[in-house]
Amino acid sequence: MPASPDRVQGISLFIVPKFLLRADNTIGERNAVSCGNIEKKMGIHGNATCVMNYDGATGYLVGERDKGLRAMFIMMNAARLGVGVQGMAQSEVAYQNAAQYARDRLQGRALTGPKNAAGPAEPIIVHPDVRRMLMNARAFNEGARALMLWGALQVDLAQVAASPEERQRADDVIGLLTPVIKAYFTDKGYENATNAQQCLGGHGYVQEWGMEQFVRDARITMIYEGANGIQALDLVGRKLPANGGRALRTWTAEIVAALAATSGEPRLQALAEALSRALADLQAATQWLVRNAMGRPDNAGAGAMAYLHLLGLVALGYQWVLMAQAACRALDEDPAETDFYTNKLITARYFCSHLLPETALHRARVEAGCEDMMALDAAAF
Ligand SMILES: Cc1cc2nc3c(=O)[nH]c(=O)nc-3n(C[C@H](O)[C@H](O)[C@H](O)COP(=O)(O)OP(=O)(O)OC[C@H]3O[C@@H](n4cnc5c(N)ncnc54)[C@H](O)[C@@H]3O)c2cc1C
């Protein structure tokens, strides 16, 4: 039998059991697999990470020889979505703790005059900068939750939609969004956990309050199941150009249709305009990559992360417009249900006025190319 290639094309997948089976299928001798060391880590201490030794162990081939990486990617695609949920969930739990603290902690006076005149100071939730951190997390969490549910629907549709065209469409769009959900959600999950820690001031740094654990635990999600930089390369190098850009075309056409459906609803106009601008940034950045990355791959690598964040913002903006539309409908149908839907519209407006404009920055970064990034000699670092 020829040797396997000394590359990823030579990787095979094995099951290595702890105990070997006897011929009669009863449990036999201990296999030679062993745990060499349990790593000491920054966080996720409830989850052991080990060095495993397989010297002389018996393994059983899973699937075809040399096709292990392809098999692993089936697991990896599901795992990437799972890690995206982890990032989003860490942002949510950190936000809930920070919001509770911000309502309780008394410090300073409101810029607009006392809100708690009888008390020695105001609850810090009156301060705009504390609001900034809370609203950033809240607007991300709710948008990301909607996008994750939308993504889960696409996973199902890719399997069971009625026609092959619908299954292909769902497979295309979830393929495009998988690296974005993994990397954008976990970058933001960590950022929001850090900002939630900041809301607690000194208490945020003290173990007893639990916030530093959220920060430590969130950090791994940007690294495992493929570092986020690799997710960005997957998006720009594989998912975008696949089938002549079909996935992005399909998905952006759905956004354009959603934008058209907002016309005539004054409560949605500012949101729709903000999303249209963000979509224009995405389309311009895509065109720039098409023109400038083929001949110079470093241009794709240099802008990949900015492009991934740009696409993540547009994806959340799309979900926010859909949610705002649903909130308007619900408010019209049942004016008694005001709090939930009114708060939804306020948060939608915040997302569109404060977070979505970042697409212009990301577009500028993509269009700046690799020149200045690659100019320094490696020895100069
Ligand atoms: C707690 C923990 C649990 C883990 N669990 C598992 C597990 O269960 N199963 C498993 O198989 N693995 C597991 N891993 C490994 C994990 O998936 C990898 O550490 C991770 O994918 C990053 O790979 P790496 O460490 O080789 O980093 P490297 O590939 O060395 O990357 C280092 C840095 O360089 C960047 N980089 C590397 N190559 C490129 C490139 N071509 N272009 C641009 N940038 C690049 C990366 O983005 C990253 O920022 C675990 C790791 C940890 C810390």
Among 74-78, 240-244, 335-339, the minimum mean pLDDT is found in 335-339
Band the pLDDT of 1: cuts 50, 70, 90.
confident
Does 170 sit in the ligand 1 pocket, CB within 6 Å? no
Pocket test for ligand 1, best of 41, 230, 374 (most atoms within 8 A of CB): 230
* Token pair listed for 134: 């809370």
Mean pLDDT of 197-224: 98
d(CA 82, CA 94): 18
Mean pLDDT of 280-302: 97
Q: What residue's CA is closest to ligand 1, atom 31?
A: 227
Ligand 1 centroid, distance to 216 Cα (angstroms): 17
d(CA 86, CA 182): 9
Q: What residue's CA is closest to ligand 1, atom 32?
A: 227
Task: State the maximum Cα–Cα separation within the chain, in Å, rounded to a whole number.
Answer: 84
Are 366 and 303 contacting, i.e. CB atoms less than 8 angstroms apart? Answer: yes
Are 97 and 196 contacting, i.e. CB atoms less than 8 angstroms apart? Answer: yes
276, pLDDT greater than 90: yes
Q: Which amino acid is at 75?
A: M
d(CA 81, CA 223): 14
Are 67 and 50 contacting, i.e. CB atoms less than 8 angstroms apart? Answer: no
* Token pair listed for 98: 């920070």
225 is known as an active-site residue: yes
* Token pair listed for 18: 């702890």
Ligand 1 centroid, distance to 189 Cα (angstroms): 19
pTM of the model: 0.95
Report which ligand 1 atom has the smallest distance to the Cα of 47. Answer: 1
Query: According to the model, what pLDDT value does residue 117 have?
Result: 86
Catalytic residue among 225, 333, 358, 367: 225
From the list 246, 240, 250, the residue with the least C-alpha distance to 294 is: 240
Domains within the chain, CATH numbers bracketed: 17-58 (no CATH), 68-226 (1.20.140.10), 233-370 (no CATH)
Mean pLDDT of 148-164: 97
Does 49 sit in the ligand 1 pocket, CB within 6 Å? yes
| Higher-pLDDT residue of 111, 169 | 169
Are 157 and 170 contacting, i.e. CB atoms less than 8 angstroms apart? Answer: yes
Question: Which residues are within 8 A (CB) of 271 and not within 5 positions of it... i.e. 6 or more apart?
Answer: 262, 320, 321, 324, 348, 349, 352
What phi and psi values does residue 6 have, to the nearest 5 degrees?
A: -85, 50
Mean pLDDT of 262-286: 97
Band the pLDDT of 114: cuts 50, 70, 90.
confident
